[in-house]
Every structure is written in structure tokens, then in C-alpha cells.
Amino acid sequence: MKSTWFCPVLLSLALTGCGAAEEEEVAELAQPLTRCERSFVPPPKTGFRHFANRLLALAPAWHSLQDVVVSPGGSAVVEGKFAYGSLSKDLEREQVQLFVDDCSGFRLLGSAETDSDGRARVAVTAPASPGMYALRMVVRGDATFTAGYLVVPPRAGRLTVFDIDGTLTTSDMELVKDVMTELFEPILHGRYVPTAYPFARELVAERERRGAVPIFLTGRPYWLTQSSRDWLAGGGFPTGGLHTTDSNSEALPTQVAAYKTAFLRGLIGQGFAIEAAYGNATTDITAYAAAGIPKAATYIIGSNGGKDGTEGACAVNKTCKTWEEEYRRVRALP
């Protein structure tokens, strides 16, 4: 999708008076983020440095890239994970490059070498203008790449947090004995496509329409990043920041709350305001509370709705299994 930067002329005019500047800031906060994403053509492949990696790359690529949420002009680190084959064998000691679409086309941000875990990190400075900037991280050896976003909300901007499994989808991780083999593996291989709760898409879209950037904070592991992007896009959900776990252990029920808490605290520490958080599990309730999100702004669907002082998906039947009432409530807000 082709987009443009916020017009600097209009911004300079808005700064001519204090009242005008405040009006401009309010108007900016009430707009969905500008999205910069063109088609991407990777640079030509260079061949691998190491012979073993040439053999490894005969298998399908299973790369992933974490989205990064950062304030305008802020510093951040973009991390990609590079692996091949059904066993996700790591690509070690090879060059990768990071590109960003700055709304005028993709440009190179930097290069890095994968470590022994197949990870590569590039330090970046976010654009000064709010927006969603498409990222592409490319393996120079064979020109395979992975996609993500540099999400730049307005300074002190508003966010809305959404869990995915059991919150946007009807599948409940708490009811799955072995989340790796019974839930995540079928999603990876396409044997199972989760069904969305009624009005889940409409709720996310309405929150975005009102100026809150959607953040999809899921307990799915990193190797489901692209599958998660595909599911959200296929369901017509707005494009927002997506964050998966960095390891399989963080996806376990005993670890997922701590992982989510740490990520949310990082957002709040940057000055962002989380105006609402949506979940379904007791781990969501724990994580949101530990991050300092008020129970009155915590909305839980399903059997845990209303638990520990949270809000249910429905006002009367707090354990209802539809987001319709919440969507209509948000839409009716002034």
C-alpha cells in the first residue's frame, strides 16, 4: 500500500500558535497511523559464506521478524530469526540486511551477522513522523527475507492491547494440555485455521478508528509470527504491532504472563498510554495488572470474564462469547 508522510508544511503552520499546535496534536492522535508498504524486491543473492549453510538453505526458509513499537525519533533494535526446514535449523554466521519503507520506497538501514541462535540485530532510529513502516530483513546468501513493521505511534500516543488465542479466536490455550503439539503445530502447518469470535475484527477496527494503535500481544512462539500475520490479514483485522514470544519456553502457561508483563512495561516506559487491554486467560489478567493497566480497562471474554474485578465481554453475562456488546459500547463513546 502506498502512503505519504505527514505534510511538514501543515505541521509548521500548526506550530505558529499554541492553540493550533494543541489542535494538531489532538487531530493526530485521532487518526489511524499512516502505513508505508510497497512491494519489495530483495537485492541479488551473494551466495553463502559457509558451505554447510548452502546445504541448509536447500530446505524451505522459516524466518521471522519481531515488530518494534517505538516513539518518533526513538532508538530501537530490530531482531530477526533465520532458520530453514521443518526442524527450524538455525542459520549461523551469515550476513543479513535490514530495509525500511520510509514512504518513498525501501532503503537500507543496516547489516548484521546471524549468531549461533540464527538471530541478527540492527540498531535503528525511528522516523520523526508517526506511522507504520514496513521492514524487510534479507539473507544475503539466497535473498530470502522476512517481513515486519516499525510501529511509530505519536509521542505519548494511545495503544489498545489484544491477546489472540482465546481472545480474538475461539480457541482457548488454557484448555490445551500441550500447546506446542496440540495447538501451535497445527496452526504452523495449516491443518487448523482458528475461527474468530463474533465482532472481534469490528472491535479492533473501531479502537483503531478512534486513534488507538492496535498491539497484538500473543503467547504464540516466534515461529508462528508469519502465520499470525496471515491470519490477522485474512480476517480483515487492521494492521497493528505484532509481538510473539522470543522462545518456546516463554509460550508455556507458567512463563507467558511474565513475558507479556515485561513487554507491556516497556511500552508504558516509553510514555505510551494503554487505554484498554483485551484477553481471555488468567495469565492475561495477571500480566495486565502487573503492568499497571486498571481492571476497569481490562476486558476478558469467556469463562474468566469479570474475574478479579475485570470487565466481562458483556455487562450482564460477563462470560459471554461474543465481542458484539463491547464493540457497540466503544462505538457509542463520545
For 248-306, the pLDDT digits (tens) are 889 888 999 999 999 999 999 999 999 999 999 999 999 999 999 999 999 999 999 99
Helix, strand, coil % in the chain, rounded to nearest 5: 30, 25, 40
pLDDT digits (tens, 9 = 90+) for 4-15: 332 322 222 232
Distance CA 264, CA 32 (A): 21
pLDDT score at 188: 57
CB 50 within 8 A of CB 94: yes
pLDDT of 67 above 60: yes
The mean pLDDT of 167-172, rounded to a whole number, is 85
3-state secondary structure of 68: strand
Rounded to the nearest 5°, which phi and psi values hold at 162?
Answer: -130, 125
Rounded to the nearest 5°, which phi and psi values hold at 261?
Answer: -60, -45
Distance CA 100, CA 109 (A): 7
Q: DSSP states of 139-201 as a string?
A: ETTT--EEEEEEEEPPTT-EEEEE--TTTTBS--GGG-S-HIIIIIHHHHTTS--PPBPTTHH
With CA atoms as reference, report the closest residue to 152 among 296, 246, 36, 15: 36
3-state secondary structure of 136: strand
pLDDT digits (tens, 9 = 90+) for 178-225: 444 445 555 555 566 789 999 999 999 999 999 999 999 999 889 889
C-alpha cell at 12: 509548521
Answer whether 0.95 is exceeded by the pTM.
no
With CA atoms as reference, report the closest residue to 69 among 195, 1, 155: 155
Positive or negative, the CA dihedral 124, 126, 128, 129 is positive
pLDDT of 32 above 90: no
Q: Are strands 106-113 and 95-101 parallel, antiparallel or unpaired?
A: antiparallel
Rounded to the nearest 5°, which phi and psi values hold at 111?
Answer: -130, 160
pLDDT score at 172: 57
| Residue whose cell numbers read 505510551 | 272
187 or 25: whose pLDDT is higher?
187
With CA atoms as reference, report the closest residue to 168 among 279, 242, 263: 279
pLDDT of 21 above 50: no
Share of the chain above pLDDT 90, in %: 79
pLDDT of 30 above 80: no
Cα 284 to Cα 29, 165, 306: the distances in Å are 27, 11, 13
Helix 256-269 and helix 282-290, axial crossing angle in degrees, nearest 10: 30
Q: Among the listed ranges 54-63, 166-175, 216-225, which one has the minimum average pLDDT value? A: 166-175
C-alpha cell at 112: 548484521
Domains of the chain: 35-152 (2.60.40.10), 158-331 (3.40.50.1000)
Distance CA 291, CA 206 (A): 24
pLDDT of 133 above 80: yes
pLDDT of 150 above 70: yes
CB 160 within 8 A of CB 330: no
CB 141 within 8 A of CB 57: yes
CB 319 within 8 A of CB 303: yes
Q: Among the listed ranges 29-38, 98-107, 110-119, 258-267, which one has the minimum average pLDDT value? A: 29-38
Cα 292 to Cα 3, 13, 31, 224, 287: the distances in Å are 35, 38, 26, 28, 9
